Structure 1
């Protein structure tokens, strides 16, 4: 079993430990109030409202079960499958050394800033240029995380709380145990929606019983008042979270995207090797090669290597293997307009990419979101119509990728 994702902040760790007890205490009180105190003792035995009591009890236990199940699924997923981007072997060794230093009581200050890896054979780089499109920097390389010393997959963000990069990170929520990301967002949305319905049942039962008691001229029941306050507060909060989650699902964005709503993305989009040179966009060819001057930085990517796009690298200048020569891929670096979302594939497909493809997936917290599958050779996440629109803007003729997935070049 993988290690739990533990926060590096003491206050967050203690909050995560305490909140589940508070939540289950509230559920326990609500169960006593609705089931025993109101439905059984008052409505069923005292008022003889059998039909009303049975309906309320059935609804209560349906949403109670769904709420608890979705909460546990969310909490456990966040603890053991947060969606953390794996370290490279080098970074794993540094992390192990740092943990050992901490055990010995040594200096465990944060790692110093590290620039992007300039090695053409940098670990993990091939996973990007093996696809047809990926998010990149201005030089055509993937985004780099200096803290993790790793290339960041599309839509991944570094969590300062976990000190790790998280795939499609949404937000830190102590109520569900940590960072909500692509692996847990569908379960989180189910939890908030079921909890809102559960609170509505509690609120309706308490309000109905209070009205009957007032009609009988009985004094206010403190249990009912407490139930009204708790169910009202939690109901309003979870309803707001449900509405927010629904917005994110149908528009295929995250909390981070919302706060950076005017951000601009650069996409490395694969183009045929024989595409004519143009000043409308920059290009880069993978696998990267070292220049004769020993530079492997961005200046090489835009100078020496980009000058090889429409010809063949000279034997003396390109030490790459014959296999690399045959697997060369050229990418155009295209920029979106501020606020454009390249992953918006339409409301219905956005919904299914997060919530699943069947009614069972939509209702029960069983399977992870389809967007957690990154096996596609096209991209980490499905791109929407904006990708084709970008190609048209920059005058790229889209003939489609080669059928075998590898663009062969003569040697």
Structure 2
């Protein structure tokens, strides 16, 4: 018998597959209602209002095209690039074992809680400390997902419906066929906006035709009532979703963040390795040392016992030790106040990080959000002024290791 979480995931996926078909049927009915029934048969043929019919058909067709384009772009992205954090090899092997047991008719046990992997060479850990800033726990380690058995990237959230951690997850939307994340959020906003405009055209056209029939003391066709009801219902829903999604974009938050609006973020901020100890904050140095091991340094231990003949080998060993020492990175663990958003860049920059830099990208489903690129060596997501404010609070002004190294080089 499948476990409850597995049944829930299956039902969610079936609903996500069925609702897009229902949406297709509703759009087909709306197209018949507006173009055939209202514009052609009534406005153009019965009333002779050809100009009105042509204008309405043109507006409707443009909005329909934009809405369908945004929907297809969003749907395809959700199916093929949903923003899942890849599983580790251990998690993949566990899933294969579970699937094998299920195919054999055996009971599938609920996964046990997996403790954090504190090994210095833990897979994926280097991707965090190779950056200058990342979200961490009290001890300076990145957040850990016991379900995925993996380090959780900044702003990632574990989805119980899909059993994956998701980059900048917003919500599961059955109407869009899956999960809305950083890869699809901008297309979702565009779809909601065009869907709202689409519904406004439906309500306006059917409302205008209904008022004309009332003035003529004619009975109201049931098709008009159905179109008004559906257009009003989905229009109200689309407008609400558009306003909500735009609010999230301007504030650089997600639906998940809204449920945790008083959450406290702790940031591991890189500082020079020679920064003196401070009782105001804790520090952690990567790569981690194994118990009983000390840091490797280019001291005499690497060259003791070397003869003149192997001086070249000694020099290479010292160079490698110096390289390892330079690879060490020290991070200060800085804690923000409850509700402070470290990714708040300013309203316009927040919006651009989701929708893109050009106006064309704001209205057409062309590219993925800039925030989904993760190509910066500073952090996964661009941090706002709060990072510098935290440095001031903790007395770390001017502690940028890159700037200090450049200054020492120039001197």
- TM-score, L = length of structure 2: 0.89
For residue 343 of structure 2, give the secondary structure of its aligned residue in structure 1.
coil
Stretch moving more, 84-93 or 347-356: 84-93
1:136 and 1:183 mapped to 2: Cα distance? 24
For residue 9 of structure 1, give the secondary structure of its aligned residue in structure 2.
helix
Q: Counting helix residues as a fraction of each chain, which structure ranks higher?
A: 2
Stretch moving more, 61-70 or 329-338: 61-70
Number of positions where the alignment pairs a residue of Structure 1 with one of Structure 2: 384
CA contact (8 A) 1:16 1:174 kept: yes
CA contact (8 A) 2:74 2:176 kept: yes
1:314 and 1:214 mapped to 2: Cα distance? 99
- Structure 1 residue 174 and structure 2 residue 187: aligned? no
Change (3 A) 1:194 1:399: same
1:7 and 1:186 mapped to 2: Cα distance? 30
CA contact (8 A) 1:7 1:162 kept: no
CA contact (8 A) 2:17 2:174 kept: no
Larger-gyration structure (1/2): 2
- Structure 1 residue 106 and structure 2 residue 106: aligned? yes
1:226-250 deviations in whole A, cap 9, x for unaligned? 0000000000000000000010000
CA contact (8 A) 1:287 1:324 kept: no
- Structure 1 residue 285 and structure 2 residue 285: aligned? yes
Tell me the equivalent position of 2:122: 122
Tell me the equivalent position of 2:383: 383
Segments of 4+ in structure 1 off by > 6 A?
311-316, 403-406
- Structure 1 residue 86 and structure 2 residue 118: aligned? no
1:184 and 1:327 mapped to 2: Cα distance? 36
For residue 351 of structure 1, give the secondary structure of its aligned residue in structure 2.
helix
CA contact (8 A) 2:60 2:198 kept: yes
- Quote the offset at 1:273 in angstroms: 1.1
1:218 and 1:261 mapped to 2: Cα distance? 54
Kindly report which structure 2 residues correspond to 1:4-403, keeping only aligned pairs within 5 A, or say none. Answer: 9-292=9-292, 322=321, 323-402=323-402
Change (3 A) 1:281 1:53: same
Change (3 A) 1:142 1:7: farther
Unpaired runs of 5+ residues, structure 1, are 1-5, 295-304
2:219 and 2:87 mapped to 1: Cα distance? 63
1:338-389 deviations in whole A, cap 9, x for unaligned? 0000000001110110001112211111211000011100000000000000
1:29 and 1:52 mapped to 2: Cα distance? 21
